[in-house]
Structure 1
Amino acid sequence: MASDRQTAAPALAHALSAAAQGFPVIPLSPTKLPALRSPHRDTPGAPPCRGACGLPGHGIHDATCDPLAVRALFAAAPWATGYGIACGRPPHHLIGVDLDTEPAALYDLAARHHFTIPRTVTVLTPSGGRHLWLTGPPDAVVPNSASRLAPGIDIRGAGGYLVGPGSVTARGAYRLAPGTPHLPPAPCPPALLRLLAPPTRRHPAGRPTRAPAHGEGLIRFVLAAPEGQRNTRLFWAACRACENGLGDTLAGALITAAVRTGLPEPEARATIASAARLTHASRRT
């Protein structure tokens, strides 16, 4: 257990550093899987939940840039030895190009489709492969794929995650390639993006999309906040509500719940407004 704690401390430090740069993170176990188990694992047939219940353990849906929330996730998973970075999320809309070995297949793809591979953040994996970090436009939804573009090229997009540099897994450590630590993720070349992202589907005019109706868990999450975590929990819940299309619907109930825990109403309203601004601004980035 002591060795786990010694490994978890740098994992948390690396995760906090990534979060400070705008990369949403979650703790990972040595197997590279999310470290926190689903809170619904003992409830067969439970409806799909993406974190609206207010509990951690929803994999990539737990990913956050908030430092207090990151610390809380790692505190709940002291066995974590690494961290995952959510792809497709604002503000970077990260796209991961996962190469099994040397990038020969990617260079061949670039030559055939007439694009240049940009200099960008590159992470070396324990197996001898590498991850290239690219950014995409907010309106492009890049799906995950395995060897669809070419053998040995996997793509991490919306709903996927990359193992962050500094993580330690059962097979070894992930580290930044020389010459790339200070590079920002480069924009995905348009020709490559056309290969990765299907055409955007537009909803017919006059047909609104349905927002999820499960917000009770977020309210319970705020009500259960201990002293010292009231504002953090409210901010986290408000961000999840906005992301799920429930921002306006739940704002009043979340403020009421926060006030019941002892948070002053003006502070609660300011926190809700801050969460809404952050979420809306991230979607426009």
Structure 2
Amino acid sequence: MATSDRQARTLALAHALSAAERGLAVIPLSRRKLPALRSPHRADPARPPCHGECGRFGHGVHDASTDPGRVRALFAAAPWATGYGIACGLPPHQLIGVDLDTKPGTDSRAALHALAVRHRFTIPETVVVLTPSGGRHLWLTGPPDVAVPNSASRLAPGIDIRGAGGYLVGPGSRGTRGTYTTAPGTAHLGPAPCPPALLHLLLPPPPRPARAPSAAGGASLVHFVRTAHEGERNARLFWAACRAWEQGMGMALAGALLDAALDTGLPEPEARATLGSAARRVGGGG
């Protein structure tokens, strides 16, 4: 290993231990900014996926630790590591990383400013890490009971978010394009709380509530099947059953739809098969 690489590894370990002392869980990274240790399950993937329960190293961000002994052991197992990653979403900081990239044709800093103006929030003074490619990582903290997901350009082009299950490349790390450094005037700062308006943008929208079943709608579906003529009975039954499952009335209307289909002369085995097909098609079950 070249002298420069040995120096990079020594510095990376020193910076990682310093971060761990501040409560930031770390892992060793390769020059390509990837976890330095390969999965122990790569030849025989664990089912269900192992997140370190096996006791071995090589589970990416799940290996991250603030314990100095474990950090040293991780780096000893990866002597080629020239950087370190800081796990996001873990206590006590619940770190959230706002990655302002430098992709061609995008101005991520201007995009973040536009979002701040539109949604009326201000980015507080916080830790800022400068990347070798000219990008910036803003360190923010979130509430302990909120898991911010990782995303790429969802907020705006060139803005990636590092949340639960993700990591940020720590300052002092050396990659293929150079060294990550703390921006002047921010090294003494701690990660600042994420503004509530920005935090709201980072979270996925709440699931839409299911529409309440309509009694009138159910009656109309049954009538639609009962008034079918020969040659259209099966198609009408299938269509009505699909609408019933979509509206949350599949189980409740199954008997009435079957009776209506039988009234039209549709053979019972065929009618039951059609109802089953509609249930499977929409996801209602067998």
Comparing 37-46 with 17-26, greater Cα deviation is found at: 37-46
Structure 1 residue 103, shift from structure 2 partner: 1.6
SS in 1 for 2:156: coil
The one-character-per-residue Cα deviations of 1:131-168 (angstroms, maximum 9, x if unpaired) are 00000000111000011011111000000000000000
Counterpart residue number, 2:112: 106
Residue 134 of structure 1 aligns with an amino acid whose one-letter code is: L
Counterpart residue number, 1:8: 9
Structure 1 residue 199, shift from structure 2 partner: 6.5
SS in 1 for 2:154: coil
SS in 1 for 2:201: helix
Structure 1 residue 105, shift from structure 2 partner: 1.2
Q: How does 1:85-100 map to 2 (within 5 A)?
A: 85-100=86-101
TM-score, structure 1 as length reference: 0.68
Comparing 39-48 with 137-146, greater Cα deviation is found at: 39-48
Structure 1 residue 2, shift from structure 2 partner: 3.3
Q: How does 1:193-232 map to 2 (within 5 A)?
A: 193-198=199-204
Contact 1:140 1:200 in 2 (8 A): no
Q: Distance in 2 between matches of 1:71 and 1:53?
A: 19
| 2:180 aligned with 1:174 | yes
Q: How does 1:154-173 map to 2 (within 5 A)?
A: 154-173=160-179
SS in 2 for 1:41: coil
Residue ranges of structure 1 left out of the alignment (5+ in a row): 202-285
Counterpart residue number, 2:159: 153
SS in 2 for 1:106: helix
Counterpart residue number, 1:23: 24
Residue ranges of structure 2 left out of the alignment (5+ in a row): 103-107, 208-286
Structure 1 residue 100, shift from structure 2 partner: 1.1
What percentage of aligned pairs have identical amino acids?
76
Relative contact order higher in (CA < 8 Å, ≥ 6 apart): 1
Residue 17 of structure 1 aligns with an amino acid whose one-letter code is: S
Provide the aligned C-alpha RMSD in A.
1.4
Q: Distance in 2 between matches of 1:161 and 1:44?
A: 23
The one-character-per-residue Cα deviations of 1:87-132 (angstroms, maximum 9, x if unpaired) are 0011100000000146211111100101011110000001101000
Counterpart residue number, 2:37: 36
Counterpart residue number, 1:142: 148
| 2:78 aligned with 1:77 | yes
Residue 165 of structure 2 aligns with an amino acid whose one-letter code is: G
SS in 2 for 1:147: strand
Contact 1:88 1:94 in 2 (8 A): yes
SS in 2 for 1:50: coil
Counterpart residue number, 1:120: 126
Q: Distance in 1 between matches of 2:59 and 2:206?
A: 27
Residue 166 of structure 1 aligns with an amino acid whose one-letter code is: G
